[in-house]
């Protein structure tokens, strides 16, 4: 290397290629999650949630550490530590006998509960997680605010309003569909009734027509029978009339001949 030339260091890309060529895994930073802030009332309790993501399996050497920095203070003090499957609670500080471990490493949970809140508990709580060999990462912080009475937050009010509006809309939609269903069902019933009435009318008309044809046929048959019954009498009258006419003509002819003989 020439004198005075700037020394160069391997770039991160070259380092990554070197590790991958040697078959060595690249460690990923552990990620810790907490709420941004929590609210509690004096004398009540509050849960400080802490969870994490790690690229490694849950190690038997996993550890959780909670630190507390009072409001307006500069230094943070350790108030809780979990390691080797055992919780270690601060027995001399301000949170003595007020901290409860509710986490579960197998569920990636490192939460704690603080009981009997006081105004002096206002401050920032930091959760730090180590899951060897994944020990490099950034901690997460949550700010605790203690009030005489927990105020209703704007988000809660807005959520309640939106939920109420959605509930009313769903109720109106349900009422609309129920009303429509009842109306359609009633219309279907009326349609079936009208169809039944139309079928009844057609059946009655056909029956009446058939009955009329039967009556008309009976009357025609009676007339034919009457005509047939009267036919012999008519023939008898006709024969009697012809016999009378023939007798009259014969008598008249006999009288004419007798007059001629007298002359």
- Identify which has the larger pLDDT, 260 or 109: 109
The answer to pTM > 0.85 is no
pLDDT in tens, 38-81: 999 999 999 999 999 998 899 899 999 999 999 988 889 999 99
Above 70 in pLDDT, residue 231? no
Q: Using the 8-state DSSP alphabet, how is residue 2 labeled?
A: -
Helix or strand (DSSP H, E) at 207:
helix 154-262
Work out the pLDDT band at 258, boundaries 50, 70, 90.
Answer: low
pLDDT at 146: 95
The Cα–Cα gap between 46 and 35 comes to 12
pLDDT at 192: 85
| CA end-to-end span of the chain | 198
Quick check: helix, strand or coil at residue 45? coil
The Cα–Cα gap between 71 and 75 comes to 10
């Amino acid at each position: 290397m020439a004198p005075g030339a700037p020394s160069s260091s391997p770039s991160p890309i070259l380092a990554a290629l070197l590790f991958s060529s040697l078959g060595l895994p690249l460690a990923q930073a552990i990620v810790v999650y907490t709420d941004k802030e929590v609210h509690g009332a004096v004398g009540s309790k509050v849960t400080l949630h802490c969870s994490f993501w790690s690229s490694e399996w849950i190690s038997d050497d996993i550890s959780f550490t909670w630190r507390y920095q009072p409001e307006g203070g500069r230094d943070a003090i350790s108030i809780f530590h979990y390691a080797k499957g055992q919780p270690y609670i601060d027995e001399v500080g301000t949170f003595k006998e007020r901290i409860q471990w509710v986490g579960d490493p197998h569920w990636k949970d490192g939460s704690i509960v603080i009981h009997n809140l006081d105004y002096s508990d206002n401050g920032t709580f930091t959760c730090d997680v180590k899951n060897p060999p994944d020990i490099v990462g950034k901690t997460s912080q949550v700010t605790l605010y203690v009030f005489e009475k927990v105020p209703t937050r704007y988000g809660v009010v807005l959520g309640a309003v939106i939920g109420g509006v959605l509930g009313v809309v769903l109720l109106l939609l349900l009422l609309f569909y129920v009303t429509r269903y009842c109306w359609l069902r009633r219309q279907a019933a009326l349609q079936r009734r009208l169809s039944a009435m139309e079928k009844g009318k057609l059946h009655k008309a056909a029956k009446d027509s058939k009955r009329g044809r039967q009556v008309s046929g009976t009357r025609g048959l009676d007339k034919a029978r009457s005509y047939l019954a009267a036919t012999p009498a008519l023939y008898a009258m006709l024969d009697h009339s012809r016999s009378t006419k023939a007798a009259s003509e014969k008598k008249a002819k006999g009288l004419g001949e007798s007059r001629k003989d007298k002359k």
